[in-house]
């Protein structure tokens, strides 16, 4: 139909006369680009970096569904199922639990922009790129931000946190559970309780760790928890998960100023997701949600429900331990020394002496179609990163990437630096 019409005359029908000028004075000055006259070409890739990961087949199928409306009853049902799924994977009973229409960064921004007001004190564990981003977001909304800077690989002890809470009396503390830029797993047990003793909210980023290692939002007294769709969940990027405890919810609902963002305003979002204050209020249109993205998110949560959280945690631990053993057999040094602090989803190895990390990453991509990555932010040049996320966390994939890495180390130039 498109083709037949395109071949016909392109003269526009006569416009009605009246108050509107015609477009007769304009013409198409930007021609149709040639690059878009070729079909979309998507190469096959095995994504063993820190994310995004490959999609599980059931999620690919959900992505190929036709649309329904964002305000259809069936869509509300899917949204309700997503809320239940997030409550399960976060292990929380929080009512204010929903998906954000954007990447993990938009969930971080939703947490910061809804909770903090200008002048609020905000302490940020900044031991990698995610903390640095939280610092930047806090500064943009006018908070008094106190970054606790650490080198990549460092984590925050209870004592360090307590000192900062006592010194800065923050409204909120930010910690990254899975610091994917360094491969660090931040301990969380006890930190929520500690924060609450100092009347401080605990905000945790679990983008790179959710589903791969235990987290218990309620039992660990985490006030705001968010994650992304494109890591262990194996869904496309573009949606993210967030939940607020009652304490956090009260701060959001009782703030004196409106948050700077309309798109991420939690009161509007809570209404649209039917988890706000007025439970019987009708859902009001806020923005058009990423419908197909929510289909895929729903399926990713359903897979984790079917599999069971503990089973998923165990599999990631086991397969990542296997990877770590194989890497050490190659003579590589794991970047995180303490095994208990190693993230069971993204493994970091020190860039082997004499190599340019880019050569290794490019070799593996060019010869095997496998993505592994270098560092990010403060860890650039220090590490190589291998992610085993969701359906990609298999021994077969470990064997494949270790073979690729071994070959890369044999063929990449050494001591050129």
Q: From the list 16, 159, 166, 410, which residue makes contact with its own copies (rule: CB under 8 A)?
A: 16
Nearer to its own copies, 30 or 353 (CB): 30
Q: In what order do the strands lie in the sheet with 346-350?
A: 346-350, 383-387, 373-374
Q: From the list 79, 111, 113, 184, which residue makes contact with its own copies (rule: CB under 8 A)?
A: 113
User: What does each C-alpha distance from 221 to 172, 245, 270 come to in angstroms?
Assistant: 13, 8, 21
Of the listed pieces 63-71, 167-175, 269-277, 347-355, which binds its own copies according to CB under 8 A?
63-71
- Per-residue binding letters, 225-254, with its own copies (x by CB under 8 A): ---x-x-----xxx----------------
Of the listed pieces 138-146, 325-333, 352-360, 404-412, which binds its own copies according to CB under 8 A?
138-146
- What stretches of 141-237 show up as alpha helix (H) in DSSP? 158-168, 191-197
Helix axes 246-253, 104-115, angle to 10 degrees: 60
Binding to its own copies, residues 156-185 (CB under 8 A): 157, 185
Binding to its own copies, residues 17-56 (CB under 8 A): 17-21, 23, 25-26, 28-33, 35-37, 40-45, 47, 49, 51-55
Binding to its own copies, residues 282-321 (CB under 8 A): 285-293, 295-296, 298-299, 301-303, 305-311, 313-315, 317-318, 321
| Terminal Cα distance for the chain, rounded | 58
Q: Tell me if 165 sits within 8 A of 123, measured CB to CB.
A: yes
* Complete DSSP assignment for 199-211: T-EEEEE-TTTTT
Q: Tell me if 316 sits within 8 A of 208, measured CB to CB.
A: no
Binding to its own copies, residues 87-106 (CB under 8 A): 87-88, 90-93, 101-106
Q: Note whether 109 binds its own copies by CB under 8 A.
A: yes
- Paired with 226 in beta bridges are 205, 242
Nearer to its own copies, 43 or 410 (CB): 43
- Per-residue binding letters, 384-413, with its own copies (x by CB under 8 A): -------x--x-------------------
Nearer to its own copies, 163 or 169 (CB): 163
Beta strands in 51-150 (DSSP E): 97-100, 121-126, 144-149
CA distance 339 to 212: 15
- Residue 9 carries which DSSP code? -
Judged by CB under 8 A, the number of residues near its own copies is 138
Q: Note whether 256 binds its own copies by CB under 8 A.
A: no
Q: β-pairing, 373-374 with 383-387?
A: antiparallel
Q: Note whether 367 binds its own copies by CB under 8 A.
A: no
How many beta carbons lie within 10 A of that of residue 321, not counting itself? 15
Quote the least distance from Cβ 152 to its own copies, whole Å.
15
């Amino acid at each position: 139909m498109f083709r037949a019409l395109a071949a016909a005359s392109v003269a526009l029908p006569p416009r009605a006369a009246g108050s509107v000028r015609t477009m007769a004075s304009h013409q198409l000055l930007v021609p149709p680009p040639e690059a878009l006259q070729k079909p979309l070409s998507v190469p096959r890739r095995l994504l063993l970096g820190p994310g995004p990961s490959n999609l599980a087949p059931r999620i690919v199928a959900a992505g190929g569904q036709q649309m329904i409306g964002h305000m259809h009853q069936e869509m509300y049902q899917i949204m309700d199922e997503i809320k239940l799924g997030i409550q399960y994977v976060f292990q929380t009973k929080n009512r204010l639990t929903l998906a954000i229409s954007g990447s993990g960064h938009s969930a971080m921004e939703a947490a910061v922009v809804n909770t903090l007001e200008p002048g609020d004190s905000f302490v940020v564990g900044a031991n990698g790129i995610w903390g640095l981003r939280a610092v930047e977001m806090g500064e943009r909304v006018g908070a008094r931000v106190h970054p606790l800077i650490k080198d990549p690989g460092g984590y925050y002890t209870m004592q360090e946190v307590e000192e900062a809470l006592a010194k800065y009396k923050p409204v909120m503390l930010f910690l990254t559970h899975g610091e994917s830029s360094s491969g660090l797993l931040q301990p969380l047990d006890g930190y929520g309780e500690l924060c609450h003793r100092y009347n401080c909210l605990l905000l945790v980023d679990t983008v790179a760790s959710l589903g791969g290692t235990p987290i218990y939002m309620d039992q660990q007294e985490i006030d705001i928890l968010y994650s992304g769709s494109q890591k262990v969940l194996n869904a496309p990027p573009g949606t993210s998960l967030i939940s607020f405890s009652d304490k956090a919810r009260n701060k959001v609902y009782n703030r004196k100023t409106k948050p700077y963002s309309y798109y991420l305003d939690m009161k509007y979002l809570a209404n649209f997701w039917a988890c706000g204050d007025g439970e019987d209020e009708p859902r009001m249109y806020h923005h058009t949600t990423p419908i197909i993205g929510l289909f895929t998110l729903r399926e990713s949560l359903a897979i984790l429900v079917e599999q069971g959280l503990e089973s998923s945690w165990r599999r990631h631990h086991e397969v990542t331990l296997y990877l770590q053993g194989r890497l050490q057999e190659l003579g590589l040094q794991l970047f995180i020394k303490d095994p208990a602090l190693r993230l069971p989803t993204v493994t970091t190895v020190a860039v082997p002496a004499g190599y340019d990390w880019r050569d290794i990453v490019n070799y593996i991509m060019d010869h095997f179609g496998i993505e592994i990555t270098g560092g990010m932010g403060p860890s650039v040049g220090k590490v190589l990163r291998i992610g085993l996320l969701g359906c990609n966390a298999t021994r077969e994939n470990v064997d494949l990437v270790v073979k690729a890495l071994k070959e890369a180390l044999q063929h990449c130039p050494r001591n050129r630096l």
